[in-house]
Copies of this chain bind each other. A is one copy, B any other.
Amino acid sequence: MKKVKIALLGLGNVGRGVWTILKENQEEIAKRSGFKVEIAKILVRDKSKQRGVEVPENIVTTDFNDILNDDSIKIVVEVMGGIEPAREYMLQCMGKKKQIVTANKMLIATGGDELFHKADREGVRFNYEASVAGGIPIIQAINESLTGNKIEQLYGIVNGTTNFILGKMQLEGSKFDDILKEAQAKGYAEADPTSDIEGFDAQYKLAILASLAFGTKVAVEKVYREGITNITEVDMEYAKTFGMVIKLLAIVKDTDGKLELRVHPTMIPETHPLANVYDSFNAVFIKGNAVGDLMFYGRGAGDLPTGSAVVSDIVSIIRNNIEFDNTNLVVKNNLWNKEIMDVGQVKSKYYIRLTVDDRPGVLGDITAILGNQDVSLRSVIQKGEIKNEEKVDLVLVTHLTREDNINKSLEEIKKLDAVKSIDNLIRIEDFEN
């Protein structure tokens, strides 16, 4: 059987997954690819570190040049993470006509262009399935399986930590802080959970997905971002009364030729396929003008699921023959140059929860302000029970309206004497617009 030599840059979590899969499933991979895949070199920083997998000493190196200058190594797999030296190493390997596979979300989201162009110039493949949504083959789906479509909308649950927390809050009625601690204990959340719970991780991933789905460059900072720390048991309960659940969604829509890009907690109908995505699972829901609704669900992280994506990228390169000079090796994300919509222009439906004095006229004052901003209400819930003294919960659900108009309304509403606090604002997506 023919053999192809590859090298790993890094042997952390994902690297271990790749090593394990190539070892455990080597027979399957050989049968399916037609080649025996041999890991010929692994770059590490510290040879003495324990890594939980048994790797022959003679293939581990601390010198990148051992890999760069070994012409028998045809594919280099970057699983070290971070911007540098990962970026520099990949560029150099491309210069040596090595094919590249990477799992590097941050690098693709922020510096992907340079790498795409270099790969294009050198005529090498550059695959990055593992950079978004772990084991879910969403990059392949967008780049290869939806090529007959204009993608119109994409909704992703792309952060497992926040999905785990929100799911537990919903199903068990527990509090955010308690579940965050549980998630940290289980290893689902980092010691510093900011990147996850404030939506930064989802923001990076949405930038990548949006740029691929819409063939346009998307700067990470153009994505509106809101985390889940404001979501309380009370909001979960109200959502339930509406037949809804709350998920942190990464959303991109083509609206009148402009892209709206946002990451925020969202109420969605409990019968929608995204609603049954629990635990630390990820899912990406896509509307295409030919295919209609499509959803992909799976593990968004973990050594083996992410390793699964990396290995499929390796096999894809092998199958498409590493000697073959193809002009379409790199799927380009600069086919169009779409304008990004200002978040204030985005239309949504809203859930607004306030604490107000329990006296006549309050609701009238509030609806008058909303009416002035063209915001119309679909429903109002005023709970009879008094929270403390004479204050009550007031929950408003609006029809479709512009974010700017909501913000202006809330500025005014805040000034009303009878309004004690605006407790939450959650966007509602019923997938009807």
Contact = CB atoms under 8 A, between A and B. Distances in A.
Interface of A: 17, 21-22, 24-25, 28-29, 31-34, 129, 135-137, 140-141, 144-150, 215, 271-273, 275-278, 281, 283, 288-299, 302, 304-305, 307-312, 314-316, 319-321, 324, 326-328, 331, 335-336
B298 A298 contact: no
Contact of A276 (B129, B147, B272, B294): B272
A304 B290 contact: yes
A147 B29 contact: yes
9 nearest A-B pairs in the assembled complex, by CB-CB distance? A148-B311, A137-B145, A135-B291, A295-B297, A291-B308, A290-B308, A147-B315, A294-B298, A31-B335
Given A276-B275, A293-B299, A148 B319 contact: no
Contact of A320 (B31, B141, B320): B320
Please give the count of copies of this chain that the complex contains.
Answer: 2
A136 B28 CA distance: 24
B29 A308 contact: no
Contacts of A296: 294-297
A367 B208 CA distance: 58
A3 to B, nearest CB: 14
Contact of A34 (B25, B149, B327): B327
A311 B275 CA distance: 30
Contact of A144 (B136, B140, B271, B335): B140
Given A31-B335, A148-B307, A135 B292 contact: yes
Contacts of A298: 291-295
Contact of A25 (B25, B277, B290, B315): B290
Contact of A290 (B136, B295, B305): B305
Contacts of A283: 273, 295
A147 B294 contact: no
Given A140-B140, A273-B277, A304-B290, A146 B295 contact: no
28 contacts: A32-B215, A32-B331, A33-B328, A34-B327, A129-B145, A135-B290, A135-B294, A137-B141, A137-B146, A141-B141, A141-B145, A147-B312, A148-B309, A148-B311, A271-B278, A273-B277, A273-B281, A275-B276, A289-B304, A291-B299, A292-B299, A292-B304, A292-B305, A294-B296, A295-B296, A295-B297, A295-B298, A324-B326
A382 to B, nearest CB: 30
Nearest to A270: B276
Nearest to A30: B335
A85 to B, nearest CB: 26
A17 B149 CA distance: 12
Given A137-B141, A326-B321, A328-B33, A147 B291 contact: no
A140 B145 contact: yes
Contact of A147 (B33, B144, B321, B327): B33
A290 B147 contact: no
A189 B225 CA distance: 44
A336 B27 CA distance: 11
Contacts of A314: 148
A290 B307 contact: yes
Contacts of A215: 28, 31-32
Contact of A28 (B149, B277, B307): B149
Contacts of A136: 294
A247 to B, nearest CB: 13
A279 to B, nearest CB: 10
Nearest to A135: B291
Contacts of A137: 141, 144-146
Contacts of A275: 276
Given A140-B144, A335-B32, A17 B312 contact: no
Contacts of A324: 321, 324, 326
A312 to B, nearest CB: 5
A364 B321 CA distance: 67
